[in-house]
Amino acid sequence: MVQQMMPMDVQDNPGIADRKQIKHIGKLKDDGANVAIIFRTVPEEHDSCLVIGPKFLDDTNHNAFMKALESSEGQNSFELGTYLNRVQFPDGTNILAYLHQQNHIKKMPTKNIIVTMGAGTDGRISLDELNKLIAKERGVKVSELSVGDPTPIKTATAEKAKQTDAGKKKTVKK
């Protein structure tokens, strides 16, 4: 199975083979800044992804985010964002909701993100190419890799009730 991985310690040092390999981590192609890949594709925009720069989180939230990312659940999730939607920061705030509300999540072209599959520079691949490999392995199109909105779906009944209530005229008794 194709899995994106990048060494946890991204500094150049001689012990590169001994470093822990971790999924959902990448770098920006142009400046090498580290990013966490929240969703590898965006619905109806398969050439875009959603990422965050963990360095922009305060220390408490950064540590909690990295703990979630490194957890077995985070590593086993197909998309990190689906897992982040189920976990909270220490103050009880939903991680994915917080990242969204605080504008930490950025949409980027997948061709501008580099992930490393294994140690060294041999396994470097752009996210758009990784998505093609994953799609081929799963027997789907890249556009079918995107995950739907993780928030609860509105029911047709609730929507109809809302429309019915909006259409009623209110009368005031005298």
Domain residue extents for the chain: 6-167
DSSP assignment, residue 170?
A: P
pLDDT digits (tens, 9 = 90+) for 33-42: 999 999 999 9
For residue 73, the surrounding DSSP H or E stretch is helix 72-76
pLDDT digits (tens, 9 = 90+) for 57-104: 999 999 999 999 999 999 999 999 999 999 999 999 999 999 999 999
Query: 2: pLDDT confidence band, cut at 50, 70 and 90?
Result: very low
pLDDT digits (tens, 9 = 90+) for 97-149: 999 999 999 999 999 999 976 666 677 899 999 999 999 999 999 988 887 65
Mean pLDDT of 45-55: 95
Say if residues 6 and 18 touch (Cβ distance below 8 Å): no
Please give the pLDDT value at position 156.
46
Residue 166, φ and ψ in degrees, nearest 5: -70, -30
- Using the predicted structure, report yes or no on whether residue 162 has a pLDDT greater than 70: no
pTM of model > 0.95: no
> E-assigned strands of 76-150?
106-109, 113-116, 124-126
Indicate the pairing of strand 113-116 with strand 25-28: antiparallel
- Using the predicted structure, report yes or no on whether residue 53 has a pLDDT greater than 90: yes
